[in-house]
Chain A
Amino acid sequence: MRRQPLLPELIARRELVSNFVVRNLKQRYKGSALGFLWSLLHPLFLVVIYLVFIRLMRFSMRLPHLLVGVMAWQFVSLSAGDAAGVVLGHASLVKKTWFPRVILPLAAVLGNLVHFGLSLLVLAVVLPLLGVPPRAGWLHLPWLIGLQFLFCLGISLGLSALNVFFRDVEHLVPIGLMSWFFVTPVIYSAEQVVGNPTLPGWVAPVFFANPMAALLAWYRHAFLGDPLPAVPLWPGLSMAFAVFALGLLLFMRLEPRFADEL
């Protein structure tokens, strides 16, 4: 077989990766009048809905915090949301032609990264208008985005491979995302958990072992200058990387049997 080490092969096939990314993006917006604008309109609509909700519930949450939270959450939620169809949706390709299968989830997550990049650009414009000037903390963004990218990729790799064998995955993902959303401080502030004396002591560390909770704390620190919580964040960040490693391992393990199952 023509199996080579993964990384050199991916580099050799980088044009295929970019073609897939471009195709994914084109496909998503083909036929809609506003096209690419939807990638920005969608999170903005979400922000408006959450704002109303936050008002009604009398949460203490400021708009800049909400914006940062929603944008970063969108990245992971889109990646997990489309993961189930990433391999399954290319069944005929996988059965009929050979190329490194990893390209499929990679291209999907890269497409979502493009969206995320665009929404960060919007943030960079909007935040100063909301009275949050650019700050040196923004220099943290590259590693934060890199880590979140790997995290999303790990999720996509794992879920897309599993869904080939158990179609249950695609039904579980929306439920999982929904519950995950509620334990992640997107539309509420992490302080409500960390500084809450009515909660037992173990809650805060567990809360921040969630990679997205840890990443959001860092994003808000970088963008808005929020102090980092007193709870260690490295478990959550390592967890993000572990998810990537595990997803990749699972994918490589299951990949040889894809064509048999599709």
Chain B
Amino acid sequence: MGDVAPAITVSNLGKRYRLQHQGQTTLKTAALRIFARGTPRGEEFWALRRVSFEVRRGETLGIIGRNGAGKSTMLGLIAGTITPTEGTAETDGRISSLLELGAGFHPDLTGRENVFLNGSILGLRRREIRNRFDDIVAFSELERFIDLPVKHYSSGMFVRLAFSVAMEVDPEILIVDEVLSVGDERFRDKCRTRIGEFRRRGKTFLIVSHDMDTIQAICDRVLVLDRGETVLVDRPARAVSEYHSLNALGGGEGPAMREWGTREAEITGVELSTARGGEAGALRGGEGFTALVRWRAARRIENPVFGFALADDDGKVLYGTNTAIDGPAIPAIEGVGAIALEIGPLPFLRGRYHLTFAVHSHDHRTFHRLDNCRAVTVAPDDEHDGSIRLAARWDLPG
């Protein structure tokens, strides 16, 4: 198997999205944007970046990660529905993707009509579909309903038919997103059996799931993604434990990044560093950090105020300060420059915290504010429970 070309080759894959601000698009900028090749202005974020891996023929790869980790983007890029911003995702062989069950189903058409339509979307000839039609219907157990419009199907029936079509397409590569968690228990078992056969025939299988039991049971290797980057690619047991520790660190996607203000003065960059030196994305317990905030002011601005806030993963602000409270007073800014903020040892045991930086006028007109634009993670370094650090001491009186 080793010298055969891999079924899927992903190299340095990245996908950047622009965060859209409603109502900001004028026809002129819109027209310009269509034909612009360069990087346009505006907020951007990388749903996926610097991801590389290979999937051998016949291998089953699981992709796990928290919400917003980039799993669906990954599958979309491999299935070819999403165009990468950088890097490549190459596949060898017919792909059948169950990214969303019954995506191609049309409610007004009957089950039979949908089987033919869906089959041809997946790349089958009509003759091939006709040959397999009976098997498809038999597997879905929908013989009695196959000539009924699918809008009358229950969601379980819908799923069964979609799954049956996707399996009968006989793809080289099957991509499945959270599918095995639907349908009733018996049909799920049937699907697992079918997927088992599929794997024994040496086909390649790519699955995204939040169901760690399924992942452990069927995957050869597992890719763990977090915030668009590869955490690791490893054996299922190891990957699942990594996933659990990511979850323990902080659930969910965290609060939304936002950017707003009049832009009379702008924050052009924030550099975080620790006393150990280097970037401070990950802190040890009891460590602090320094933020160097770079600014630009197109015109002279009197008495500006720089602000900082720190929020937890739910977006709740735990601390906030600004130069009006703590000084120094800034008479005026113009051109470019920087201001440094030093934060002493964080009183946290563990968790992820989100940093907000802002510059506004002395009377609270926001020039530029970057909500939750950076995150720092505090890794636990002792065995205390909870999230904050208290000066606790046990004593035996007497």
Contacts from A to B (Cβ < 8 Å): 1-2, 13, 15-16, 19-20, 23, 26-27, 30-31, 92-99, 165-166, 253-254, 256-257, 259-260
Contacts and interface: CB of A to CB of B under 8 A. Distances in A.
Contacts of B196: none
20 contacts: A19-B126, A23-B113, A23-B117, A27-B106, A27-B108, A93-B104, A95-B99, A95-B103, A96-B79, A96-B81, A96-B97, A96-B103, A96-B104, A97-B81, A97-B97, A97-B103, A257-B83, A259-B76, A259-B82, A260-B82
Given A19-B126, A27-B106, A98-B79, 15 more contacts: A1-B80, A2-B91, A13-B120, A15-B120, A19-B116, A19-B120, A20-B117, A26-B109, A30-B108, A93-B103, A95-B100, A97-B122, A99-B121, A254-B34, A259-B83
Nearest to B102: A92
Contacts of B126: 15, 19
Interface in B216-247: none
Contacts of B79: 96-98
Contact of A253 (B34, B120, B121, B125): B34
Interface string B57-81: 0000000000000000000100111
Contact of B30 (A1, A166, A253): A166
Given A96-B81, A260-B82, A23 B109 contact: yes
B80 A98 contact: yes
B53 interface: no
A99 B123 CA distance: 8
Contact of A16 (B17, B113, B120): B120
A257 B76 CA distance: 12
Contacts of B76: 95-96, 259
A92 B104 CA distance: 7
Nearest to A17: B120
Contact of B106 (A23, A96, A166): A23
Contact of A2 (B30, B80, B120): B80
Contacts, number: 82
Q: Top 7 A-B pairs ranked by shortest CB distance?
A: A98-B80, A256-B83, A96-B103, A96-B99, A16-B120, A92-B103, A19-B120
A97 B120 CA distance: 11
Contacts of A257: 83
B121 A16 contact: yes
A93 B91 CA distance: 20
Given A96-B97, A96-B100, A19 B117 contact: yes
Nearest to A161: B34
Contacts of A253: 34-35
Nearest to A94: B81
Interface residues of B, number: 33
A254 B97 CA distance: 23
B308 to A, nearest CB: 33
Nearest to A99: B121
Contacts of A20: 117
A254 B79 CA distance: 19
Nearest to B80: A98
A142 B393 CA distance: 94
Contacts of A260: 17, 82-83
A260 B109 CA distance: 28
A192 to B, nearest CB: 35
A97 B99 contact: yes
Interface in B89-148: 89-91, 95, 97, 99-100, 103-104, 106, 108-109, 113, 116-117, 120-123, 125-126
Nearest to A256: B83
A93 B83 contact: no
A158 to B, nearest CB: 11
Nearest to A257: B83
A228 to B, nearest CB: 37
Given A19-B117, A94-B81, A95-B76, A27 B109 contact: yes
Contacts of B34: 165, 253-254
A107 to B, nearest CB: 11
A35 to B, nearest CB: 13
B83 A92 contact: no
Contacts of A92: 100, 103-104
A1 B125 CA distance: 22
A27 B105 CA distance: 12
Nearest to B89: A1
Nearest to A166: B30
A3 to B, nearest CB: 8
B25 to A, nearest CB: 8
Nearest to A20: B117
Contacts of B99: 95-97
Contacts of B125: 15
Contacts of A27: 106, 108-109
Contacts of A166: 25, 30
A190 B76 CA distance: 52
A31 B25 CA distance: 40
B92 to A, nearest CB: 10
A2 B77 CA distance: 12
Contacts of A15: 120, 125-126
Nearest to B33: A165
A99 B81 CA distance: 8
